[in-house]
Structure 1
Amino acid sequence: MSIMTTCIRLVPKLQSVLQNAWRSKTMRGFERSNIMAANFQKCFGNNRHGITVDKSMGTNEAYSMQSSLEYVKMSEHVELWKLKSGNSSLPLVLLFPWLKARRSAIQKYANLYHQRGMDVLVVKGRMKHFLWPPYAFKLGHELDKCLRDIPSYEKFFVHCFSIGAYNYTIVRMNAKSGVPCFPSEKVVGQIFDSIVIGTTANMTEGLAISVTANKLLQRTIQSTAEAYIQLTSRKTQDLYDESIQFCKEKFLPVPSLFFYSDNDVMCNVDSMRQFLAFQKERYGDDIWEKSWPISIHAGHLRSHEEDYLSMWKKFLDKLTL
């Protein structure tokens, strides 16, 4: 058996270890319902799309999604959350969540866009797409097929989180293969929340922290992941490095907003600021950013609701979306 075959067979085993660790992790709820509902009301008021806000109700109760939304399973990893009263002349939001994102958490971000009459296409990556990048390229082909099945949308708006930003980048890299792929020219704006940037150690440490609070298990996961990446460097580390370089050099020249924090181990702050300085030099005022000294990876909306919603609204207003 070749080394490469052995490595490929390691992917589901490593994925299983990480998933089991994830299940054992005690997570606090994401439901600060009354505060969230009040902030939505403050920022957006009432709307025309069948989604109403009531400060006296919890978030899940406040949004009667079943009556206003249609959920269409496009493929294994892609689902369209479509407003029944939606307008396909508005950009379709391509939402790339963070790893192991719960549906209820994704819904909170989708609600932001539904408030503005925009449909949302959720592209949910899995652990395997990060552990074995060739799988992420297949995800790109899967997304391309789904987009071709809904041709009525002429523009896209991208909102991606954490490893979801990695998946988005890999999707765009598919263009190098010369086959039909993601139509980057249709993107009119982007939001990057807690992107993974920095060294391999940053990535593996962040991966370990994201799946368990147990320090001993974190060290075990990190060392195992580093050994795996070293063993499979041509198909993992090399592609991780290539994706970061691609994102830097082939950055889409459209208005882009970045959310990050200084204490995020998966988003090295020095690397982040160098990246932003480089893009601002090229694109000037089209590059927006909002950061905090302390926050939660892919949880800035939870930690800093008013700041997050205010910046998000200002950015979309600037794009007249």
Structure 2
Amino acid sequence: MLHLSCRLVTQGLTKPNNFTVRNQCFKLQLNLARQFSGIAHLGGQGRLRDISDSAAAGSIISMDHHQRHGPITMTTRSSSSKVAPAKIKTYSVTKNLHFYSSSRTNWSKDSQTLRLDEQLDKPLVLMFAWLQATEKHIKKFAEFYIEQGFHVLVVHLSPWQLMWPVQGSQVVAGDVVKFLRNNDLERGVVLHGFSVGGYMWGECLVKIHEDESNKLVLDKIKGQVWDSAADITEIPVGVPYAVLPKNPMLQRALRGYITYHLKLFQEEATQHYEKSTNIYHSEPVRCPSLMFVSKSDPVGTEEANRKVMASWESVGVKASIKCWDRSPHVGHFYKHHDEYVDLLLAHLSSLNIADYIPKAKL
């Protein structure tokens, strides 16, 4: 069906002025998007569950990991040899925003403004996850940052939301900016994005620059970390790889479809990708940046990330990059764990975060 859909969309591209054909292609694309979402669902077992705002009804819903895979525990180090377990709970702010904390606070919010009833007493890491990121993977980073004395807010994006930005990624970006604007965050915010997270932050920047009152958000951000950040030109490579990592044949079919999607839906999708990537390059948040890349990564390429770095440095952003010869896409933390953590701790220590003292690494 996927191969057939791609061929039919190709026929539509050869007759762009034929309204009937274009409309048929549009309907076909919607059907394929549903299949696409189904494939993503089957391939993404273990992801954080989506919980609607209506279910939240004015409070953040706690998703205790004990209900599914047992509690997430971490160790807090002290001068003694005793190990004190700390349980990490996950709270749903929206269906795409999930809050990780080891605090005993029962976090609640205003469902309209996303303002927390109790403001954070620690700095916040705003983490933009990669497509199909599993709970197991995100948990490792949450554990690291919570041990370092941060709270963590994770932003998830589904393949469908990526493909249809007006109804998808831009809605998520609006919620991210709303959360940043309406909460005090006096201890500051650190961005940590993976892969398509660079595009997602670009959509947030679009929202910030559209409204003058949102620009105060930028003052809260003290530093940024980008791991395997993917340029918009790599969407046809990155999405199939994320959704179907073990099926090269379907990857090729899906890559062809996404290429057609970008050509056919210029107004509905492609122009928004271009706007996001342009502002990501030219209007960065003015705080120190650390990039992790690999020469062997076909999605978050070294070349694309170095272009971003040069663009940021030209407007005064202090930027540094670590590039490995061989390391998988969004897998540097696991492949080069000690070096990754050492660089990350040094970067965090250099930021203007009040009273932050790096802890021993995991």
Give the TM-score taking structure 2 as reference length.
Answer: 0.70
Answer yes or no: is 1:300 the counterpart of 2:319.
no
- Please state if 1:78 is matched with 2:97: yes
RMSD: 3.3
- Give unpaired runs (5+ residues) of structure 2: 1-18, 46-73, 106-118, 357-362
For residue 231 of structure 1, the aligned residue among 264, 270, 277 is 264
- Aligned match of 1:222: 255
Which segments of 5 or more consecutive residues in structure 1 lack a partner in the other structure? 27-40, 54-63
Structure with higher helix content: 1
Is 1:75–1:146's contact at 8 Å kept on the other side of the alignment?
Answer: no
Structure 1 position 278, deviation (Å) = 2.9
Aligned to 2:225: 191
Quick one: distance in 1 between partners of 2:291 and 2:129? Answer: 15
Distance change >3 Å, CA 226–CA 239, structure 1 → 2: same
Is 1:206–1:266's contact at 8 Å kept on the other side of the alignment?
A: yes
Cα separation, 2, equivalents of 1:122 and 1:216: 32
Give the aligned partner of residue 133 of structure 1.
165
1:170 corresponds in structure 2 to 203
The structural deviation recorded for 1:292 is 0.7
| Per-residue deviation, residues 125-154 of structure 1 (Å, max 9, x unmatched) | 111221011121111222234445643545
Distance 1:150 1:8, change over 3 A: farther
Cα distance in 2 for residues equivalent to 1:303 and 1:227: 34
What does residue 77 of structure 2 align with? 46
How many residues align? The count is 289
Match of 1:111 among 126, 140, 143: 143
Give the deviation of 1:84 after TM superposition.
1.3
Determine if contact 1:197/1:203 at 8 Å carries over to the other structure. yes
TM-superposed deviation, 1:15: 5.3
CA distance, structure 2, for counterparts of residue 74 and residue 234 of structure 1? 31
Cα distance in 2 for partners of 1:291, 1:116 equals: 24
Residues 1-321 of structure 1 mapped to structure 2, 5 A cutoff: 3=22, 7=26, 10-11=29-30, 13-14=32-33, 16-17=35-36, 19-20=38-39, 23=42, 46-47=77-78, 52=83, 64-66=85-87, 69-84=88-103, 88-134=120-166, 135-147=168-180, 150-151=183-184, 153=186, 155-178=188-211, 181=214, 183-197=217-231, 199=233, 202-212=234-244, 213-283=246-316, 286-319=318-351, 321=356
Amino acid across the alignment from 2:304: S
Tell me: CA distance 1:173–1:12, structure 2 relative to 1, closer, same or farther (3 Å). Answer: farther
| CA–CA separation in structure 2 for the residues paired with 1:178 and 1:148 | 11
Tell me: CA distance 1:15–1:196, structure 2 relative to 1, closer, same or farther (3 Å). farther
Residue 6 of structure 1: how far off its partner (Å): 6.5
* 1:86-132 superposed Cα distances (whole Å, 9 cap, x missing partner): 99343211111111111121011111111121111111111122101
Indicate the percent of aligned positions where both proteins have the same amino acid.
21
TM-score for both structures, normalised by structure 1: 0.78
Contact 2:129 2:155 in 1 (8 A): yes
Offset, 1:188? 0.7
| SS of corresponding position for 1:252 | coil
**8 Å Cα contact 1:83/1:118 also seen in 2:** no
- CA distance in 2: counterparts of 1:185 and 1:101, whole angstroms: 29
